[in-house]
Chain A
Amino acid sequence: MAEALQQELEFYKKILPTLSGEEGKFAVIIGNDLIGVFESYADGLAAGYARAGLSPFLLKRIAANEIISYFTRDIDVTCRT
């Protein structure tokens, strides 16, 4: 499951420089296709499911520098890197 979105994530990194004016919005990517850029997480999620159905898609907040979440306790996650 951790590898499910690898293609989409690589494509996102590739097109990130072209999305500089869209910082903070949400990109929906299926395979190597940018489906659209949306103002909110909810809008992007709805668009992703409308387009991909139950197939995989990536919903990514556009940020030049990756947004990091902080936890003061360990959560024992499966690391993808």
Chain B
Amino acid sequence: MPHISGNITAWGPLINVIVGVSQPRAAALARANQQLPSVVVAKLVVDTGASQTSLDASILQQLQIAPTGSTGIHTPSTQGVPHVVNLFDVSILIPGPNPANPVAHVIPAIPVIEGQFRAQGIDGLLGRDILASTRFIYAGPDQIVLISF
């Protein structure tokens, strides 16, 4: 079972992922003879308080993607009234721990929410939509998290 570890930092547990356009969008770009946008390395906080994975708006702009959905969200600021936000389809690759195991997990297509995270020093949140298919250990005394896929 592939696994990765991440450091527990002042922001929370951090892992690096590689974000690209979704596999179906990549196929559509190929059919249209258009170049694939470069993938983006993103530093995400593993957040069990987030229903869904969210990425900084700048990453979605780099990928040149438009929304393909919408959803309602509650945050501490929404004060009981859900806000409707856009969803964007991306692919997420989670690198493995060493060159012999370069890819721990690939998600070919997943909807993510756009947010503003760069001012917080991160690129987004890895939410329970991804954690739902993993085993996640928060090893506080060791200052690491372990995620098995």
Contact = CB atoms under 8 A, between A and B. Distances in A.
Interface of A: 1-2, 4-5, 9, 41-42, 45-46, 48-50, 53-54, 56-60, 66-81
Nearest to B111: A41
A67 B68 contact: no
The listed residue with most A CB atoms (<10 A of its CB), out of B29, B51, B75, is B75
B113 A69 contact: yes
Contacts, number: 136
Which are the 9 A-B pairs with shortest beta-carbon distances? A72-B49, A75-B115, A69-B51, A76-B116, A79-B83, A49-B28, A49-B24, A80-B84, A46-B24
Interface of B: 22, 24-25, 27-29, 31-32, 34, 47, 49-52, 54, 66-77, 82-86, 89, 108-111, 113-117, 125
A60 B52 CA distance: 15
A9 B84 CA distance: 11
Given A41-B109, A69-B113, A78-B86, 8 more contacts: A5-B70, A42-B109, A54-B32, A56-B68, A66-B71, A71-B73, A75-B113, A75-B116
